[in-house]
Amino acid sequence: MLKTVSEKAVKEPDIQAEGKINWKDLLYSLGALLGLILLSAVLTVLSPDFLTLNNLMNIARQSAINSLISVGMLLTILTAGIDLSVGSVLALSTVVMAILIIKLHVSPFIGVLAGLCLGAFLGFMNGILLTKLHLPHPFISTLGTMNIARGLALIVTGATPISGFPFSVQFLGAAFWGPIPVSFMLVLVVFIIFHLFLTRTTTGRYIYAVGGNPEAARLSGVPVERVLVIVYTLSGFMAAVAGLVLIGRVNAAYPLAGLGYELDAIAAVIIGGASFFGGVGTVWGTLVGALIMAVLRNGLNLLGVSADLQTVAIGAVIIGAVYIDVLRQRAINKGRR
């Protein structure tokens, strides 16, 4: 029996090589997906309100902000880095949009563009601090930016929220297309773009190379520093995009927005199967991770669990999800199917 199996494997390496499906990778991302399905099944049984179109769209809307931030975070984690500044970057770029558009009556288009550029610029600075000042770990540079951006957001607003955006600015976060929230469609489009970016462009492949082995990557001609700067710039940019969606949801910009969002994003990325050591992770895993977080929050709400207890539950899920990953990795390493 076994003999025939091994003979086949030896005789037909081409089919194995050209077949599009990589089972290991599939199993890897399926792990989190399986969790999402299981979680949804349990909630469907526990609460009659869970599996309704209305509620599902709710989840889609609630997951949008975290998803958008997470995909940027994924890039940094793929390079074995981290971006702690995303929550503050979100806050600062939204309050700048608010000041420009509401207080200074700049055209909404220009105001939004300026906010997005600011997010990208803050990310760019993170990248420069890391690569040019050679700060030892992005934990440090982004921790610094996190405080700076938060402080600036408080200063420029005098620590008070600003509201009254025109609808055009709220569109992404507030509008619906039929039953589907526009913010969720934005998420899907963004994720498809990032998927193509990571798998089909040289820069995308370089990101994996830098995370896998920076020295080997450099000696293979990968412009490691440029790749890192791009990664942090995109992360900052995505935080600002998420901020724009948040504006639509709450019709206000407030300087304390986005507190702790970095941790939700890290959680989504890690639940989605990315490795803190870099080089491993996919956008679809991250999307599933963000959805798991949203479903969990939503489900616990439906079940009437208190917010404090929800936090405990999410902590447990993070540990559980990563532990399952560890087990799966170990099984793969043992070389057994």
Partner 1 sequence: MREPFLKLRGICKRFPGVVALDNVDLDVYSGEIHVLLGENGAGKSTLIKILTGAYQKDAGEIIIDGKEVQIRTPREALQLGISCIYQELNLIPHLSVAENIFLGREPKLLPALGIIDLKDRYKRSAALLKELGCAVSPGVKVKDLGLGKQQMVEIAKALSLNARLVIMDEPTSSLSEKEVEELFRVVRQLKEKGIAIIFVSHKLEEIRQIADRVTVLRDGRKVATLARGEFDIEELIKLMVGRTLKEKFPKINVRRGREALRVEDIWTDTGLKGVSFSAYEGEVLGIAGLVGAGRTELARAIFGADPLRKGNIFIYGQRVDIKCPEDAIRAGLAFLTEDRKTQGLILGESVAFNITLAGIKQFRRWGFLDIRRQFETAEQLARDLKVKPLDIRRKARELSGGNQQKVVLAKWLCTRAKIFIFDEPTRGIDVGAKVEVYNLINQLLQNGAAVIMISSELPEILGMSDRILVMSEGRITGEFLREEATQEKIMKAATGGY
Interacting residues toward partner 1 by CB under 8 A: 2, 6, 9-10, 13, 16-18, 22, 196, 199-202, 205, 208-209, 212-213, 215-223, 279-280, 334-335, 337
- Which phi and psi angles does 177 have, rounded to 5°? -120, 100
- Comparing CB distances to partner 1, the nearer of 145 and 233 is 233
Nearer to partner 1, 215 or 308 (CB): 215
Kindly state the smallest distance separating residue 196's Cβ from partner 1, in Å: 7
First CA to last CA distance, the chain:
16
Q: Supply the minimum distance, in Å, between the C-beta of residue 21 and partner 1.
A: 10
Could you tell me the smallest distance in angstroms from the CB atom of residue 278 to partner 1?
A: 9
| Residue among 21 and 307 whose Cβ is closer to partner 1 | 21
CA atoms within 13 Å, Cβ hemisphere of 272: 30
Q: Are 285 and 272 in contact (CB under 8 A)?
A: yes
Tokens matching residue 213: 């082995």
Residue 11, token pair as written in the block: 């005789």
Cβ pair 187, 68 in contact under 8 A: yes
* Smallest distance from partner 1 to CB 9, Å: 4
For the bound state, the minimum distance from the C-beta of residue 212 to partner 1, rounded and expressed in Å, comes to 4
Cβ contact 211:276 at 8 Å: no
Q: Give the H/E segment covering residue 232.
A: helix 224-250
Distance CA 267, CA 65 (A): 14
Contacts of 69 (CB under 8 A, 6+ apart): 86, 90, 238, 239, 242, 261, 262, 264, 265
**144 or 212: CB nearest partner 1:** 212
Enclosing H/E stretch for 130: helix 108-132
103 vs 132 by CB, closer to partner 1: 132
SS3 state of residue 252: strand
Closer residue to partner 1 (CB): 18 or 308: 18
Token pair 């390493």 is found at 333
Tell the smallest beta-carbon distance from residue 118 to partner 1 (Å). Answer: 27
Q: Which two tokens stand for residue 300?
A: 């616990």
The residue among 10 and 307 lying less far from partner 1, judged by its C-beta, is 10
Least Cβ distance, residue 209 to partner 1 (angstroms): 5
